[in-house]
Amino acid sequence: MMFNRGHPNDFNTWAEITGDRSWRYENLMKYFKRTENYEGIYPSNQHGRGGPITVSLPKYVPLLNEWLGAGQFLGYPVADPNGPQGISFCPFEYSKRLGRRVSSYTGYLKPIFGSRLNLKVVLEAEARKIIFRGNQAVGVQFRSNTDGIPSDNVVFARKEVILSAGAIETPALLMKSGIGPKHVLEAARIRPVKHLNVGQNLQDHVAIQLDIVINNRSLAFLGERDWNPQTWKSYNEVGDGPYASYSGFGGQAFISTTGQGNQTNIPNIHLYHLGSPKISGLIEEMTHIQKAEWEVETPVFVELTNPSSRGSVTLNVTHINSSPLIDFKYFTNPADLDIMIDGMKMALNVFENTPQFKRLGARFPPNQYSACGRLKFRSGSYWKCHAKESAASFLHASGTCAMGSGEDDSLAVVDNKLRVIGVRGLRVVDASIMPTITNANIEAAVYVIAEKASDMILRQWRNARPNSWL
Ligand SMILES: Cc1cc2nc3c(=O)[nH]c(=O)nc-3n(C[C@H](O)[C@H](O)[C@H](O)COP(=O)(O)OP(=O)(O)OC[C@H]3O[C@@H](n4cnc5c(N)ncnc54)[C@H](O)[C@@H]3O)c2cc1C
């Protein structure tokens, strides 16, 4: 996966919200480093080695040189995406080793699978409810499906229950267990354990797509040409080449619509450049552009890094065990759309006003979305239409069990140690605890949350009695 830590300011904001300086970027550095087995090219003092997640820079990246050169032409530095991030153009680093994904399973779990007496993993199991005795979480009800036979089971916790079901399922599970907004629990007729604003504060990265075309097919990735027996062999032998480039995203940029060039250091737009006409055909399905046979698409995605709009996850109150209801509410704060449109114009500038892309005849064809065809091309209403038509989730749901300063913080669901507020023995460790989303792909931040949580949990229980919960 694309691996980006985020901007130091993201974590410093968490420290401000919680009043706990241990969440500041510089204090999280040991966890960033502990996560990583860094194989990239940037200075080693910023990176960790020997950690479970290999972070590497692919060698085969179509149009990356043009992308970085264009950024430099416009006055941006080319920088380490996982150093202390600032306004810059960068290559994408990936959580990959020898061209293959390194996941939390392959990095953390697989190496110790079967060898730890204190770890039992039940596959094909779905947690259905947290069991409380008073306000103490004492266990979890789950449904398993061993050998195709469903059965309901319970596990009890001697110390604490840790929920890590992600930003959609964790809030749903809390609400089903009696922790949630009063109106939701009442409507679903769930006995309340604690009223908290669970499921509110949903954040995500919404991105819009600009389909650029260039007249040089030899520089871009083309599946019918570049996926072949030779490149398959090189993928298997050295783990690189077109088969290792899962998404085609090669170049990225962190830019700001509020300052020129690199004058302000906090980006509000993240650009993803694709040196390929397709991500598994997705782009071709989504847009309808007129292009000549010698032209090829090289799209750029414009992502809003720190949206002001907030969505929600809630229960389907008439069928609480069916899928939760998700409403991202993208662009409900009009400022988000304004920033996005400025970001789109800045992205186009990279292609239309730099020698690197002018040389390749880069152009932005009209009428990419039929719904916008009647509007004057590039007018204010056109940009709004284009943004809304192409807006898509970049799948970074977060924030639905927000970490905060404690009981008096009306938005907070967990405290600075990720303990669910107002109950005992229950902690949340996943993307749902982010009070504000980080400004890039969030996987790296989730690893850091988990690494920090593991330290906090060990520290809490080292000398404590089993039923103590501070
Ligand atoms: C298609 C896709 C591509 C992505 N690409 C990138 C990328 O390139 N870079 C990046 O940084 N981020 C990427 N992300 C985002 C990233 O994967 C998530 O933000 C991250 O995994 C969130 O971690 P988490 O631990 O909060 O939740 P998850 O990783 O979702 O983990 C939650 C786990 O809980 C399990 N679970 C849920 N409910 C229950 C239940 N009731 N009982 C038992 N188990 C349950 C789920 O099966 C899952 O295994 C991508 C996401 C998607 C969907």
Instruction: Give the pLDDT confidence of 23-65 residue by residue, as tens digits.
Output: 999 999 999 999 999 999 998 899 999 999 999 999 899 999 9
Mean per-residue pLDDT for 11-33?
A: 98
Q: Give dist(CA 441, CA 302) in Å, integer.
A: 13
Under 8 Å CB-to-CB from 141, ≥6 apart: which residues?
127, 128, 129, 130, 131, 152, 153, 154
Q: Is the CB of 165 under 6 A from ligand 1?
A: yes
**67, 70, 74 from 355: Cα distances, Å:** 11, 7, 10
Least confident of 168-172, 364-368, 381-385: 364-368
Q: Is the CB of 127 under 6 A from ligand 1?
A: yes
First to last CA, the chain: 37
Q: Is the CB of 450 under 6 A from ligand 1?
A: no
State yes or no: pLDDT of 244 exceeds 80: yes
Q: Look at residues 382, 378, 391, 432 and name the one whose alpha carbon lies nearest to residue 304.
A: 391
Kindly give the distance from the C-alpha atom of residue 443 to the centroid of ligand 1, in angstroms, as a whole number: 8
Q: DSSP labels for 71-98? A: HHHTTPPB--TTSS--SEEEEPPBSEET
Mean per-residue pLDDT for 326-342?
A: 97
State yes or no: pLDDT of 247 exceeds 90: no
CATH class name, domain 58-91+206-304+331-390: alpha beta
Residue in 203, 303, 321, 442 to alter for ligand 1 test, most ligand atoms within 8 A of Cβ: 442
Q: Which pLDDT does position 259 carry in this prediction?
A: 73
Output the CA torsion sign for 18, 330, 386, 93. positive
Q: Which pLDDT does position 183 carry in this prediction?
A: 97
**172, 398, 422, 429 from 314: Cα distances, Å:** 7, 14, 20, 19
Q: Which pLDDT does position 149 carry in this prediction?
A: 86
Residue in 108, 396, 398, 451 to alter for ligand 1 test, most ligand atoms within 8 A of Cβ: 396
Percent of the chain topping pLDDT 90:
80
Q: Which pLDDT does position 43 carry in this prediction?
A: 84
What is the residue with the minimal CA distance to atom 52 of ligand 1? 395
Q: Which pLDDT does position 263 carry in this prediction?
A: 52
Mean per-residue pLDDT for 255-282?
A: 78
Range 328-335, long-range pairs (CB < 8 A, 24+ positions): 328/202, 328/204, 328/206, 328/393, 329/202, 330/204, 330/206, 330/391, 331/206, 331/387, 331/388, 331/391, 333/307, 333/308, 333/309, 335/308
Q: Give dist(CA 86, CA 80) in Å, integer.
A: 9
Tell me the one-letter amino acid at 8.
Answer: P
**Residue 250 burial (CB count, 10 A):** 25
Kindly give the distance from the C-alpha atom of residue 166 to the centroid of ligand 1, in angstroms, as a whole number: 6
State yes or no: pLDDT of 239 exceeds 80: yes
Mean per-residue pLDDT for 449-469?
A: 87
Q: Is the CB of 431 under 6 A from ligand 1?
A: yes
Q: Is the CB of 317 under 6 A from ligand 1?
A: no
State yes or no: pLDDT of 286 exceeds 80: no
Q: Is the CB of 449 under 6 A from ligand 1?
A: no
Tens digits of residue pLDDT in 143-154: 998 778 889 999
* Residues paired with 88 in a beta bridge: 254
Q: Is the CB of 2 under 6 A from ligand 1?
A: yes
State yes or no: pLDDT of 125 exceeds 70: yes
Mean pLDDT of the chain: 93
State yes or no: pLDDT of 260 exceeds 80: no
State yes or no: pLDDT of 117 exceeds 50: yes
Q: Give dist(CA 179, CA 147) in Å, integer.
A: 33
Kindly give the distance from the C-alpha atom of residue 447 to the centroid of ligand 1, in angstroms, as a whole number: 11
Q: Give dist(CA 206, CA 209) in Å, integer.
A: 10
Q: Which pLDDT does position 280 carry in this prediction?
A: 46
State yes or no: pLDDT of 174 exceeds 90: yes
Q: Which pLDDT does position 370 carry in this prediction?
A: 86
Residue in 55, 328, 441 to alter for ligand 1 test, most ligand atoms within 8 A of Cβ: 441
Q: Give dist(CA 18, CA 12) in Å, integer.
A: 10
Q: Give dist(CA 42, CA 189) in Å, integer.
A: 55
Ligand 1, atom nearest to 446 Cα: 23
Q: Which pLDDT does position 245 carry in this prediction?
A: 78
Mean per-residue pLDDT for 75-83?
A: 95
State yes or no: pLDDT of 465 exceeds 80: no
Q: Is the CB of 122 under 6 A from ligand 1?
A: no
Q: Give dist(CA 432, CA 318) in Å, integer.
A: 24
State yes or no: pLDDT of 456 exceeds 80: yes
Q: Which pLDDT does position 319 carry in this prediction?
A: 95
Q: What is the pTM of this model?
A: 0.95
State yes or no: pLDDT of 127 exceeds 60: yes
Q: Is the CB of 173 under 6 A from ligand 1?
A: yes
Residue 205 in tokens: 């990265």
Ligand 1, atom nearest to 126 Cα: 42
Mean per-residue pLDDT for 102-116?
A: 94
Q: Is 136 in contact with 161 (CB distance < 8 Å)?
A: no
State yes or no: pLDDT of 261 exceeds 60: no
Comparing 308 with 117, which gets the higher pLDDT? 308
Burial annotation 7-19 (CB, 10 A radius, 16+ → b, else e): bbbbbbbbbbbbe
Q: Is the CB of 141 under 6 A from ligand 1?
A: no
State yes or no: pLDDT of 277 exceeds 70: yes
